[in-house]
Amino acid sequence: MIDTGEIAIQPNILNLAAYTVTAFEETEHDYHIHAMAQTPSDACLHCGHPRLQRFGRREQLVKDLPMHGKRVGIYVDTRRFRCQACRKTFYEVLPDVDGRRLMTNRLVAWIGRQALHRTFASIAEDVGIVEGTVRLIFKDMSPNWNSRSPLTHPRGWVWMKSTSSGPER
Ligand SMILES: [Zn+2]
């Protein structure tokens, strides 16, 4: 693609500037987007040495935010390297991705917010993951929300209801 100023504003359908989209398919319920990171690793993950040798690749499915009411899966062409110094191998670290969950960071954040006011099952359905994963994400994020979320203070809620002895007398 020619890099004009205008095109650079809209990097790709993912709106993730760190990725190049290489293919795109749409089905009734899903988007399948093939992509790769624009900038591959430039130093060994183990020792920091800059001389790396390409050592294969694999496709990793990364879940992303639902788009236009459809589930989104990004098939990331992930490169593997071998370090010329320590000889260890590693896969490139994918930008904007929670590597432990194989989801975009923005999806993890979105699930955490949605889980405050929706059922885990409905969120899991929207994203195309199992309910247990939604529960784990909510559990990981909820310590930060203890002071704000009404869902984490059910007793306080009951107390408020039982003591509001109505204006109807
Ligand atoms: Zn190394």
pLDDT per residue over 7-21, tens digit each? Answer: 445 568 899 999 999
Name which residue leads in pLDDT, 144 or 99: 99
CA of residue 20 to ligand 1 center, whole Å? 27
Predicted local confidence at residue 163, as pLDDT: 42
Tell me how far the alpha carbon of residue 98 lies from the centroid of ligand 1, in angstroms: 23
pLDDT at res. 164: 42
Ligand 1 centroid to Cα of residue 43, in Å, is 8
Question: In sequence order, what DSSP letters do the residues of the chain get, joined into one string?
Answer: ----HHHHHS--TT--TTEEEEEEEE-SSEEEEEEEESS---S-TTT--S-EEEEEEEEEEEEEEEETTEEEEEEEEEEEEEETTT--EEEPPPTTEETTTTEEHHHHHHHHHHTTTS-HHHHHHHHTS-HHHHHHHHHHHHHHHTTT-GGG-HHHHHHHHHH---S--
pLDDT at 101: 93
How many angstroms is it from 90 CA to the middle of ligand 1? Answer: 9
Encoded tokens for 112: 């955490």
pLDDT in tens, 83-141: 999 999 999 999 999 999 999 999 999 999 999 999 999 999 999 999 999 999 999 88
CA of 53 to the centre of ligand 1 (A): 11
pLDDT at 92: 95
Ligand 1 centroid–CA 27 distance in Å is 42
| CA of 127 relative to ligand 1 center, distance in Å | 37
Cα distances (Å, whole numbers) of residue 49 to 34, 42, 53, 125, 144: 30, 9, 11, 43, 37
